Structure 1
């Protein structure tokens, strides 16, 4: 079953450390250094990684320092000012932290999926007779995901199931590692699982697995989060970081950007992958205006509210409490 208590200790930890007065990166002599936390070097973070390689942030007199941290740990680092920004997701832990007074907000969206992406729910042929997915067959089945309750992927899954007349209560969820999900699908241990980039590329090779559905093209499951340093202490630095990001997206990450020799070299270097591996991945969609979709935070909160024990507050937070859209203008 999903770990439905995941958000609660994180929110409690955040509430406690906020009063600790930990120092931020701006306490250092180098006022141009900005620390950004990511979970791993993924193409979803190309606005950061490619921008670093091609000088988008240097043009803003910024020296970007990457900190690798799990999403839950990154939230604590952000709230305490140990890192300045996080590329992560608007999880229940994020909303719980904001509701508890944590000075963190969404300032820009993550990536949007391309048409040819097959990142999403994959099912065994038992659930897709003749290659056609039948959502009704998910009743009573276990769906494996790499994240538990209170994560954006849970919203995508629940909304898609509801459109098909299947309630999330009719399905069991199990959390396991991203690559373990593929192994479980291939072995028959589970009949449905959410596969992300680049794991789904292996699923495409199997005659026993079928792509059911993925992330809708009009939503992003990621976000750029700023903490107290860039929201309050040094908004100019925050604006410059977003200006560098906007430049990286507009100048290097539009259309068939894999065909651009400079971008291609930057991705291969940063992601530590081969030319062949890059060729198999579809280009992602990055909005050059860095506008976060209106109403999306409401949808996430509505989903998390239905998941027992995930949110620690009752009334949904309005957009202006969780999004700072001014910095990206």
Structure 2
């Protein structure tokens, strides 16, 4: 665990796949796990789990519950209470963007001093996942606000001590962020033949979105291996769909609002309800060297969700104004989409389903790895006082 102030890292361009692979191999000696799937992570050693006031009743849900209307875990406002570490720790966490709504709990925890209450000095760096991943494996950064994307799973498969330790959100049922298609004359939205179609997306096949995209495509005779992917800039995806450059597109918040209600387009599906696909990744610093700081980080994050994002947070006009300013998003844009369902818990089998999609897309390397090598729920369980 580093205690010195890290040098400022500037945002860089995404590395080509070959260069990323070389970087991962070069750092392998610094963050490799032992042969045992869970050896080498301090969170696997016995730790004292104490009951946490305010989290007793609903601070934990069964990970196997995949129902769409599942109520996410919640503690009381202000819980779990801070437990300041005896010595201040410097934590560096990377995120691909500082302005997206799903990053709001991380940003709000910094702004409201929730990390500071735990004795943590948290610095947020903006870095693309491929740039941050080698730094996380080597221990040059402590955490990553990202997702178990193909590059992450391939890195773990190569021996890195990196685990998905907390989730971020699932969409509101009213959200229509996801796969949209332009209908041809006479086509019904209930069945749109997708095989051979051009699909525009700013997200590559190695993203976690491959999983829900695969589900949506297969309902309409397509699949990740049956469509023609066109990777486009964020400002070009909608334009290409509207002018015929692509037949379909994965539209994010709030872009889908531009076609919602237009009978020329149909929504085919988005992220599964009740199943988060991203969140926090920890490397060897917080898994092996200082799990106390890892639990403290998660305690602050979970407390922020319970205090500020427990329900429909966009019903509070003052909070929406504060959040828009924090994320540097125009307030009308922020209010144009429903609140996210913030959720720190990881569902069972998600990494299995993600890996199946990566294999279908041709971006998985090696055999699929078991969940226990990619996911660690022990730290957030400790933060809320859940005893297995």
When normalised by structure 2's length, the TM-score is 0.74
Q: Does 1:122 align with 2:180?
A: yes
Q: Does 1:235 align with 2:295?
A: no
Given that 1:121 and 1:211 are in contact with CA atoms closer than 8 Å, whether structure 2 keeps it comes out as yes
Q: Does 1:326 align with 2:382?
A: no
Cα-Cα RMSD:
2.3
Count of equivalent residues? 311
Given that 1:186 and 1:208 are in contact with CA atoms closer than 8 Å, whether structure 2 keeps it comes out as no
Given that 1:11 and 1:96 are in contact with CA atoms closer than 8 Å, whether structure 2 keeps it comes out as no
Output the CA distance in 2 between the equivalents of 1:321 and 1:119: 30
Q: Does 1:298 align with 2:352?
A: yes
Q: Does 1:254 align with 2:264?
A: no
Give 3-state SS (helix, strand or coil) of 2:324's partner.
Answer: helix
Deviations 1:17-75 (A, max 9, x none): 23369xxxxxxxx8422111111121111220122222222221222211001111111
Alignment of 1:102-251 (within 5 A): 102-126=160-184, 129=187, 132-136=189-193, 138-204=194-260, 208-251=264-307
Given that 1:77 and 1:83 are in contact with CA atoms closer than 8 Å, whether structure 2 keeps it comes out as yes
Deviations 1:272-319 (A, max 9, x none): 1232222112100112xx2201011111111212233x22212x2111
Residue 200 of structure 1 deviates from its aligned partner by 1.9
Output the CA distance in 2 between the equivalents of 1:117 and 1:327: 31
Most deviating of 100-109 and 266-275: 266-275
Q: Which runs of 4+ in 1 moved over 6 A?
A: none
When normalised by structure 1's length, the TM-score is 0.87
Given that 1:158 and 1:168 are in contact with CA atoms closer than 8 Å, whether structure 2 keeps it comes out as yes
Deviations 1:148-189 (A, max 9, x none): 222211111112222444343332111112221111011111
Counterpart position of 2:369 = 317
Output the CA distance in 2 between the equivalents of 1:302 and 1:87: 23
Q: Does 1:36 align with 2:88?
A: no
CA 1:85–1:127 in 2, change beyond 3 Å: closer, same or farther?
farther
Output the CA distance in 2 between the equivalents of 1:127 and 1:240: 57
Output the CA distance in 2 between the equivalents of 1:6 and 1:306: 21
Output the CA distance in 2 between the equivalents of 1:166 and 1:183: 23
Most deviating of 148-157 and 229-238: 148-157
Which of 326, 335, 348 is the matching residue for 1:270?
326
